[in-house]
Amino acid sequence: MLSVSSSTHPGAVRTINEDSASWDPALLFLVVADGMGGHNAGEVASGLAVEAASAFLQKSANPEDFTWPFGVNPKLSFGANRVTTAAKVANRRVFRASEERTEYTGMGTTLVLALVEGAHVTFANVGDSRLYTMRDGTLHQLSQDDSWVVMLSRESGLDPSTFHDHPMRSVLTNVVGARPDVDVSIGEFDLVDGQIILMCTDGLHGGVSDGQMVAILKAQPDLQRAADTLVETAVAQDGRDNITVMLARYSLSAS
């Protein structure tokens, strides 16, 4: 059984919330996106990405009489092909929209999505919206940030925290909608009873430390209260960006 709750807030500075999120309780997939672009185009980009990715995951739930728009990678599992293609479909949708209207030129969005099949999770991400899991009181980031800081830390061998105050720390190297094709990072893992999935935009992980996330999740067994508290903490401590969090807890039984 999967229990899901989410919370979002425009933050303390911005009036428009350009984040989007969705989850399907029947097909058990979760999607979070953080849009960017002028003239409210970020809101458009994230909404289109979530809509397109969700539609593809719904369509591909039954593989019979179905065509893969970007082909199939035989080295990947069925689930990995689904989430990868969902991200690519979202990318093409946002890119085409940005070409059709001048005010949308240059818009883009991050995207992180997870498909839960029983105890197995397959996920994909583009940009710096993240997927974490908490198991036995320990939080792990499983997604990979597509950011200038991560790229530079790999090249230099230095810890990403070294560049915390660098003026380019928020620059992304890969987003949905910036070009016709997109690179997608994927991963798979199995859940155990009580394990929590946390998906969020950078308004959360940029304003709340991992230690604080763990403390809040431990203190708030109710998922909705935990999601709301995470967002409220991010607004109070930083609040410069939109904040969205989605929490899912896996249980072996309804009890």
pLDDT in tens, 177-207: 999 999 999 999 999 999 999 999 999 999 9
Residue 160 pLDDT grade (very low, low, confident, very high; cuts 50, 70, 90): low
Residue 255 has pLDDT above 60, yes or no: no
Burial class (CB in 10 A: 0-12, 13-18, 19+), 220: middle
Evaluate whether residue 48 is within a structural domain: yes
Which residue segment(s) compose the domain that 67 sits in? 2-250
Measured between alpha carbons, how far is 1 from 22 in angstroms, rounded to an integer? 18
Residue 152 has pLDDT above 70, yes or no: no
Q: How many domains does the chain have?
A: 1
Residue 53 has pLDDT above 60, yes or no: yes
Q: Which pLDDT score is estimated for 245?
A: 98
Q: Which pLDDT score is estimated for 111?
A: 98
Residue 163 has pLDDT above 70, yes or no: no
Evaluate whether residue 255 is within a structural domain: no
Evaluate whether residue 76 is within a structural domain: yes
Q: 171 vs 131, 149, 186, 200, CA distance in Å?
A: 19, 8, 21, 18
- Count Cβ atoms below 10 Å from residue 214 Cβ, excluding itself: 15
CATH number at residue 226: 3.60.40.10
Evaluate whether residue 143 is within a structural domain: yes
The candidate with the shortest Cα–Cα distance to 234, out of 40, 13, 4, 3, is 13
Q: Maximum distance among all alpha carbons in the chain?
A: 53
Q: Which pLDDT score is estimated for 162?
A: 59
Which alpha helices (DSSP H) does the chain contain, by range? 41-59, 78-100, 148-156, 202-205, 210-219, 223-237
Q: What's the angle, vertex CA 1, arms to CA 185 and CA 26, rounded to 5?
A: 70
Q: Which pLDDT score is estimated for 179?
A: 94
Residue showing tokens 């997870």:
114
Q: Count CA atoms within 13 Å of residue 32 on its CB side.
A: 30
Q: Which pLDDT score is estimated for 159?
A: 64
Lowest mean pLDDT among 36-40, 92-96, 110-114: 36-40
Q: Which pLDDT score is estimated for 253?
A: 75
Residue 27 has pLDDT above 60, yes or no: yes
Residue 119 has pLDDT above 70, yes or no: yes
Q: Which pLDDT score is estimated for 166?
A: 58
Lowest mean pLDDT among 81-95, 100-114, 150-164, 192-206: 150-164
